[in-house]
Amino acid sequence: MKKILIMLLALSAVSLTSCFRAADSVQYAKTTKVIEVNRITDTVVCEDYNGNQWEFTECEDWEVGDVATLLMNDNGTENIYDDTIVEARYNGAFEGWN
């Protein structure tokens, strides 16, 4: 019984920490270009200005060269590599954007 109580308290602490961490998170926009569309795996790969690549699903009518604005969530950390895509929006296509 004591072990069960300790486990429940530990789970509660983890849940509360997750809730507060989510409250500290910030959403921001990131402009990217589509560099790969894989219709078999239903994924789109985008690249930002710094060369970081971001991937989302539901490729629908996305094409290589499209400009996508990604609504990102920073997960409450300074490290961008754990950021997640909340939403992807089409913003057109720029000819010759490297």
Contact in structure between 34 and 66 (CB atoms under 8 Å): yes
Compute the distance between CA of residue 41 and CA of residue 55 in angstroms, rounded to an integer: 11
Q: Is residue 11 part of a domain?
A: no
- Supply the pLDDT for residue 27: 97
pLDDT in tens, 3-54: 544 444 555 554 544 444 456 899 999 999 999 999 999 999 999 999 999 9
| Farthest CA pair distance, the chain | 67
Mean pLDDT, range 87-96, rounded to an integer: 87
Mean pLDDT, range 51-77, rounded to an integer: 96
Q: Is residue 70 part of a domain?
A: yes
Domain containing 66 equals 26-93
- Supply the pLDDT for residue 93: 87
- Supply the pLDDT for residue 24: 85
Q: Is residue 13 part of a domain?
A: no
Q: Is residue 2 part of a domain?
A: no
- Supply the pLDDT for residue 23: 61
Q: Is residue 30 part of a domain?
A: yes
Q: Is the pLDDT at 80 greater than 70, yes or no?
A: yes
Q: Is residue 9 part of a domain?
A: no
- Supply the pLDDT for residue 8: 46
Residue 57, domain CATH: 2.40.50.140
Q: Is residue 12 part of a domain?
A: no
Contact in structure between 40 and 94 (CB atoms under 8 Å): no
Domain count, the chain: 1
Q: Is residue 50 part of a domain?
A: yes
Q: Is the pLDDT at 60 greater than 90, yes or no?
A: yes
Compute the distance between CA of residue 30 and CA of residue 81 in angstroms, rounded to an integer: 13
Compute the distance between CA of residue 7 and CA of residue 36 in angstroms, rounded to an integer: 45
